[in-house]
Structure 1
């Protein structure tokens, strides 16, 4: 899991640092922010102290209306729990009292610079923190986006994963990662595939060398991340080793406890593997819409047998 700090938020969202310039290395451990409400009126039973605290216009207006003594008490009751930071989305005017409390407790106080509603900012912030703090693993393979869905290509070294990815890029699909694919678990049902930063945009082809697909084919050839929908294993051709597809039972590969549909494609000279991968992607998309070709075919056989 990646270490996420307050400074990362400042850089990602171009936040203005009002106080706590020396505390920006504080770690953020929770992937959801919190907008204090009940806490301002004294209810702390379920206060998520390790979350980033967001103060929107409603919260700031409420504090402005309090007496100096009451405001100081309300703020003091919250800052004593030392949350990672406060982010104000309603401008930085009239926050002298909040600056003072944050300075005393060593808590960074930040402010948004770009115009957006508090709800919009929270949505963007939480999405970013979920990705950054998600459990992750690295696997050997290639990740490519085909028809808008993420496909993980795996296989032994030298089997031809990168070459097949290159063919798919030539057909208009997008490279996500080559050689080392970082998988992030965003939810019990969602795995996100991305690169490790070092290999971003690069595709290694035997006998040719390293290609920067963006420089060679344009920005349309690359995508930062994609949700993994299919796990495809590329293997050498073995005669009579594949079963009849009508008897095919769905298989899955688990990554961090998340099952991903798995298929095997055997390689043979002259076989259009890129085309098979496109077919597999389209077939998966149809199944998500409730259509199954094998089921329809079996129904036709049953209908014919009833005549």
Structure 2
């Protein structure tokens, strides 16, 4: 199970630490946060104790209205479960009572910037935790964003993946990762492709060496991540190995239980492989919109024969 520390979360979101400074190495393992509501009135049957707890204006206003003794009981019931941390999004005014409980129980208490509403902060935090804690694997290949569509290029070493990626970059598409592609499973339908930080913005070309695509072609040549829509396997040319069917059926490659449509493109001198990848990406998009060129062609043939 992947984990991140409260300290890393505080640093990423510029959170102010007002209690539990010695406990910032506590681990966060759950990818969604929780706003305690029913828990304040004593209902703990489904309390997600391992999630980050968010206290917004609604929760803090409620606590302020309670008597000192009642507030002590309400908060005490929650801190008893030792969640990884509390984040207050309603400012740090008059939080002495909450600070006392967090210090006593060794729970980090953090405060977010006042400029961001709780309703905006929570989705941003959820998205960050989802990516950071997502199951991941590393695969050998190249990841590109072609016309807004995430493409994973695979193939044997030396087949021409990076060279093809370079051609695509020159045509205005974006590199995500070269050589090592990190795949993150965000849901049962979604695989995110990204880099491993060390290779960020770099493309390795045989006979040329290492290129920084951002320095060479500008910021538009690179993006940090992309949702993988197509898995394209580049192979060496074999005569009669592929058939010119009207409608090529997708095969699928399984990545951590998520099936990604997969096609094979053979390389041969003079063949516009980058153009074929562009065509594959755009054709995939049209199929998602419900359009099939083969079906339209067959309809036209059928209409001609019936006249």
TM-score normalised according to structure 1 size: 0.98
Classify the secondary structure of the residue corresponding to 1:277.
helix
User: Partner of 1:38 in structure 2?
Assistant: 38
Matched, 1:179 2:165: no
Classify the secondary structure of the residue corresponding to 2:157.
coil
Q: Partners in 2 of 1:306 and 1:185 — Cα distance? A: 50
1:247–1:277 distance in 2 versus 1, CA, 3 Å: closer
1:185-241 deviation per Cα after TM superposition (whole angstroms, max 9, x unaligned): 001100000001110010000000000111111111110000001000000001111
User: Shift of the alpha carbon at 1:130?
Assistant: 0.4
1:117-145 deviation per Cα after TM superposition (whole angstroms, max 9, x unaligned): 10110000000000011111110000000
Q: Partners in 1 of 2:164 and 2:237 — Cα distance? A: 16
Q: Partners in 1 of 2:279 and 2:248 — Cα distance? A: 16
Matched, 1:203 2:203: yes
Equivalent residue runs for 1:124-139 within 5 Å: 124-139=124-139
Confirm or deny: 8 A CA contact 2:29 2:51 kept in the other structure. yes
Q: Partners in 2 of 1:255 and 1:301 — Cα distance? A: 39
Q: Name the stretch that deviates more: 254-263 or 62-71.
A: 254-263
User: Shift of the alpha carbon at 1:250?
Assistant: 2.1
Classify the secondary structure of the residue corresponding to 1:263.
strand
Classify the secondary structure of the residue corresponding to 2:184.
strand
Matched, 1:66 2:63: no
Moved over 3 A (4+): none
Classify the secondary structure of the residue corresponding to 2:246.
helix
User: Partner of 1:50 in structure 2?
Assistant: 50
Equivalent residue runs for 1:132-171 within 5 Å: 132-171=132-171
User: Partner of 2:254 in structure 1?
Assistant: 254
1:193–1:114 distance in 2 versus 1, CA, 3 Å: farther
User: Partner of 1:103 in structure 2?
Assistant: 103
Classify the secondary structure of the residue corresponding to 1:245.
coil
User: Partner of 2:14 in structure 1?
Assistant: 14
Q: Structure 1: which 5+ runs fail to align?
A: none
1:3-44 deviation per Cα after TM superposition (whole angstroms, max 9, x unaligned): 311111101100000111111111111100000000000000
Q: Partners in 2 of 1:303 and 1:235 — Cα distance? A: 39
User: Partner of 1:289 in structure 2?
Assistant: 289
Q: Name the stretch that deviates more: 40-49 or 281-290.
A: 281-290
Q: Partners in 2 of 1:23 and 1:217 — Cα distance? A: 45
TM-score normalised according to structure 2 size: 0.98
Confirm or deny: 8 A CA contact 2:6 2:25 kept in the other structure. yes
User: Shift of the alpha carbon at 1:285?
Assistant: 1.0
Q: Partners in 1 of 2:201 and 2:248 — Cα distance? A: 36
User: Partner of 1:227 in structure 2?
Assistant: 227
Classify the secondary structure of the residue corresponding to 2:107.
coil
Classify the secondary structure of the residue corresponding to 1:187.
coil
Q: Structure 2: which 5+ runs fail to align?
A: none
